[in-house]
Structure 1
Amino acid sequence: MSARAPWTLVAGREIQVKLTDKNFLIGTGLTILLLLAAMIVPTFFSGSGANYEVAVTDAQGTALVEELETTLQEESAESSATPVTVADRAAAETAVLEGDVDAALVAGEDSWELLSDGPDTGGLGSALAEQVRTDALADNAASAGTTVEALTAGTELTTVDVAEEEGGMPPIVAYAMGFAFAMFFYFAAIMFGMQIANSVVEEKQSRIIEILAAKIPTRQLLLGKVLGNTVLAFGQLALIAAVSLIGLTFLDLDVALPGLAGAIGWYLPFFLLGFLALACVWAAAGSLASRTEDLQQTTMPLTMFLVILFIAGLNLEGAARQIFSFIPVASTLVMPMRILEGDTELWEPILALVLVVGFCALTIAFGARLYERALLHTSGSLSWRKAMTLAKD
């Protein structure tokens, strides 16, 4: 035996087995690819600017459309507004109806008219209306011997995003990131939890556990399995978080980075403690089974527990949601969402962490007790209640 602590050997083996598992590596790779696709693909649909062709009948109309193009390109370099000169109003109407142009701009008796095929002109109507207004204001100001700035002084309304000033983020982004946090913990808890349970039952089924238990104390075995899988889960989380943050810096969503960084700082300890609170119980669930086929029965209570927490965490509102965010394990799902939304005081996540630490101590003691009593039982699966009555091996 190595001079190292036995649990380090067990943890190292758990990590090595998982890192050489093609399914695990492919799953992690696909998760990262899907995450990058979710951030990058929308840019292909939103990145192209608007392109308009507008029929005009005179030089003034041509100048207005050209000025509109300059205005549009200040917002998006790919936008364009192209004037198409026609003979008269009748020709402009024909061009619109035949679909040769998007609309036509013609001078009326006292105002400009926009000719379109149907009532919906999209963004072109509002853009041209603003351009005509700006051009008319400039002409009127020049006639009155003043400036456009003087005429429009005090008429502008500026929108101030208070949430952004306070380091928050748009509500839709906060909800999406909170949902992603909750979803990741849910899947990590089930995937790595089942890995722990499956590792335990495979050793029982092959009778290797009898050799291991003779050489390594039972609690050292449990500690190695739990910590090995915790390192894997936490490492996968860190990798996905790093890819997300790097990806956001290349997108317009980088406005959410300040608030997101703080939320991730809180999410990491919640994730770690929440996972540890369940890991020993997953190991105990594996020890209750004698064959791989029995795992579904022995792990069902844990799976249902996580499903209920996940559904409740996403659907509760108001005071019920606030109370739920302090319940251990559920706090890993809900409290980070509240932090993202800016709905918490500093003491709230601190109190939730203290509560989950206490709960973690209880579940570790409970899981270790079950694990020690059921580990060498190989004659059929055990119920949770019956396992507690067995003598310690």
Structure 2
Amino acid sequence: MRTGAWLLVTRREVLARITDKTFLIGTAAMVAMIIGFMGFTAWQEERSEDFRIAATPDAVAMAELVADQAPRVDDDVTVAVVEVDDETGARAAVREDVDAWLHRGDDGWVLTTESSEEPSLTDVVSQVVQGAVLSENAAAAGATLEELQAGSTVSTSFLRGDAEQAAVADVVGFVFMFLFYLAALLFGMQLASSVIEEKQSRIVEIIAAAIPLRHLLAGKVLGNTVLAMLQVLVYVAVGLVGMSFTPYQSYVPDISGPVAWFLAFFLAGFVALACLWAVAGALASRAEDLQATSTPLTMLILGMFFAGISLDGRAQVVASFVPPVSAVVMPKRILAGTLQWWEPLVALALLVAFAAVTVRLGERVYRRALMQTGGRVSLRQAWAAEE
């Protein structure tokens, strides 16, 4: 029985959780949110905006130019012109059934709305009017618009990767980091709480008489790791399938490879943190002690999350090799395509080594702290305690 004790504990952890209504409802709610977000994104991208702008006789020509060129500026925007006799009619039209009134001001053109700005309409009108006025000024100066604008465009380029990949990396990379952060906190707290519950009720003393404590730790860590991986796999699968139905479907093949790397880094990083959560539970004697024993670990996970968001340049490169931060930073770099082929392998090897050392040291603290029920145990006391 002892040889497969860890497997029995693992199975118990998995079965107890997947039959828990709270866990199932939470997972289903997150899946529904992902589907809803994907559907909203697809609807937003395919939705066209139709605007009506009023113009007095002296502004009709410019308004019609805006209506004609609007689809070229933004293919989701269409503009219709409503002619009015004077300013009074224009103001009345804005209050009733048109979106804005285009007219001349003291220093250029003015787009007047009733109470709030329409950003997409403002952007289209600004670009069309600016181009038309520059063309007029260029003609007056004996030049063409192209001649005036020659050499004035600014483009972007990266030494490694490209702008499109960077944009995708920012969005998907944030999703990766959030999933890791969420899993590390939720499953970690659940693991620590179960350790405290068994310790406080003294059930652990009965378990310890039947199986080695290292088997109990292994089963708890592996069980929660399996659950976390399954949940993340569901979220990722739903996300990729949902993305295939949006205008961003062309990105799915490019994301699939980094997803596999993310899962590998997630697995190694989560195992290390899960062991630390078990240690946090073992150091506590009551549920009230968990806040104190888990604060350093919570701060570490929060620091990893913010490091993944804020670090860039050389700092990001360095952090992508430093465990456990590399669990969230390296997948983001892989998405951006700004690294050499060997870098993820080295970073993953370092993370696996870190996880192995963490599990080895954590197992010692766990075993020596778990059976002490006289109060909260410090790391130093647990490390020096006799078994």
Q: Taking structure 1 as the reference length, what is the TM-score of the superposition?
A: 0.75
Aligned to 2:328: 333
* Residue 54 to residue 170, structure 1, CA distance change in 2 (3 Å): farther
1:331-361 CA distance string (max 9 Å, x none): 0121111122222111111110111111111
Please tell me whether the aligned partners of residues 48 and 78 of structure 2 are also in contact (alpha carbons under 8 angstroms): no
Aligned to 1:146: none
**1:11-50 alignment, distance < 5 Å:** 11-46=10-45, 47-50=47-50
Deviation of the 1:15 alpha carbon: 1.1
Please tell me whether the aligned partners of residues 102 and 111 of structure 2 are also in contact (alpha carbons under 8 angstroms): no
* Residue 68 to residue 216, structure 1, CA distance change in 2 (3 Å): same
1:10 aligns with 2:9: yes
* Residue 83 to residue 216, structure 1, CA distance change in 2 (3 Å): same
Please tell me whether the aligned partners of residues 310 and 333 of structure 1 are also in contact (alpha carbons under 8 angstroms): yes
Q: What amino acid is aligned across from residue 331 of structure 2 in structure 1?
A: P
* Residue 162 to residue 287, structure 1, CA distance change in 2 (3 Å): same
User: In structure 1, how many angstroms separate the alpha carbons of the residues matched to 2:262 and 2:214?
Assistant: 29
Please tell me whether the aligned partners of residues 69 and 128 of structure 2 are also in contact (alpha carbons under 8 angstroms): no
User: In structure 2, how many angstroms separate the alpha carbons of the residues matched to 1:365 and 1:203?
Assistant: 22
Please tell me whether the aligned partners of residues 42 and 245 of structure 2 are also in contact (alpha carbons under 8 angstroms): no
Counterpart pick for 1:317 among 309, 312, 315: 312
Counterpart pick for 1:174 among 156, 169, 178: 169
More deviation in 362-371 or 372-381?
A: 372-381
Q: What amino acid is aligned across from residue 204 of structure 1 in structure 2?
A: K
1:364-386 CA distance string (max 9 Å, x none): 11111112222222221211111
Cα RMSD, aligned residues only: 4.2
Please tell me whether the aligned partners of residues 54 and 103 of structure 1 are also in contact (alpha carbons under 8 angstroms): yes
Please tell me whether the aligned partners of residues 101 and 112 of structure 2 are also in contact (alpha carbons under 8 angstroms): no
Q: What amino acid is aligned across from residue 4 of structure 2 in structure 1?
A: A
* Residue 276 to residue 117, structure 1, CA distance change in 2 (3 Å): closer
Deviation of the 1:241 alpha carbon: 0.5
Deviation of the 1:9 alpha carbon: 1.5
1:27-53 CA distance string (max 9 Å, x none): 223322333333333455551233446
User: In structure 2, how many angstroms separate the alpha carbons of the residues matched to 1:70 and 1:191?
Assistant: 48
Deviation of the 1:75 alpha carbon: 4.2
Counterpart pick for 1:286 among 264, 281, 286: 281
Report % sequence identity.
40
More deviation in 226-235 or 28-37?
A: 28-37
Deviation of the 1:250 alpha carbon: 1.4
**1:349-368 alignment, distance < 5 Å:** 349-368=344-363
Aligned length: 358
1:242 aligns with 2:223: no
1:208 aligns with 2:207: no
More deviation in 91-100 or 335-344?
A: 91-100
Please tell me whether the aligned partners of residues 55 and 95 of structure 1 are also in contact (alpha carbons under 8 angstroms): no
More deviation in 250-259 or 38-47?
A: 38-47
Which of structures 1 and 2 has the bigger CA Rg? Answer: 1
Deviation of the 1:81 alpha carbon: 5.4
Structure 2: runs of 5 or more not aligned: 104-108, 133-149
Please tell me whether the aligned partners of residues 35 and 244 of structure 1 are also in contact (alpha carbons under 8 angstroms): yes
Q: Taking structure 2 as the reference length, what is the TM-score of the superposition?
A: 0.76
1:290 is paired with a residue whose SS is coil
1:145-192 CA distance string (max 9 Å, x none): xxxxxxxxxx9xxx99989xx798453332122122112212211221
1:6 is paired with a residue whose SS is helix
Please tell me whether the aligned partners of residues 168 and 340 of structure 1 are also in contact (alpha carbons under 8 angstroms): no
**1:41-120 alignment, distance < 5 Å:** 41-46=40-45, 47-52=47-52, 68=68, 75=75, 91=85, 96=90, 98-99=92-93
User: In structure 1, how many angstroms separate the alpha carbons of the residues matched to 2:164 and 2:53?
Assistant: 37
Deviation of the 1:293 alpha carbon: 1.8
User: In structure 2, how many angstroms separate the alpha carbons of the residues matched to 1:247 and 1:168?
Assistant: 24
User: In structure 1, how many angstroms separate the alpha carbons of the residues matched to 2:5 and 2:296?
Assistant: 31
2:49 is paired with a residue whose SS is coil
Q: What amino acid is aligned across from residue 308 of structure 2 in structure 1?
A: G
Deviation of the 1:302 alpha carbon: 1.6
Q: What amino acid is aligned across from residue 38 of structure 1 in structure 2?
A: F
Deviation of the 1:390 alpha carbon: 1.4
Aligned to 1:305: 300
1:379 is paired with a residue whose SS is coil
Please tell me whether the aligned partners of residues 41 and 246 of structure 2 are also in contact (alpha carbons under 8 angstroms): no
**1:154-303 alignment, distance < 5 Å:** 169-303=164-298
User: In structure 2, how many angstroms separate the alpha carbons of the residues matched to 1:83 and 1:366?
Assistant: 73
User: In structure 2, how many angstroms separate the alpha carbons of the residues matched to 1:117 and 1:206?
Assistant: 71
Deviation of the 1:71 alpha carbon: 6.3
Please tell me whether the aligned partners of residues 54 and 81 of structure 1 are also in contact (alpha carbons under 8 angstroms): no
Aligned to 2:141: none
User: In structure 1, how many angstroms separate the alpha carbons of the residues matched to 2:360 and 2:366?
Assistant: 10
User: In structure 1, how many angstroms separate the alpha carbons of the residues matched to 2:178 and 2:126?
Assistant: 43
Q: What amino acid is aligned across from residue 49 of structure 1 in structure 2?
A: E
* Residue 246 to residue 161, structure 1, CA distance change in 2 (3 Å): farther
Deviation of the 1:84 alpha carbon: 6.1
* Residue 237 to residue 52, structure 1, CA distance change in 2 (3 Å): same
1:386 is paired with a residue whose SS is helix
1:50 is paired with a residue whose SS is strand
* Residue 327 to residue 69, structure 1, CA distance change in 2 (3 Å): closer
Please tell me whether the aligned partners of residues 50 and 78 of structure 2 are also in contact (alpha carbons under 8 angstroms): yes
* Residue 372 to residue 82, structure 1, CA distance change in 2 (3 Å): closer
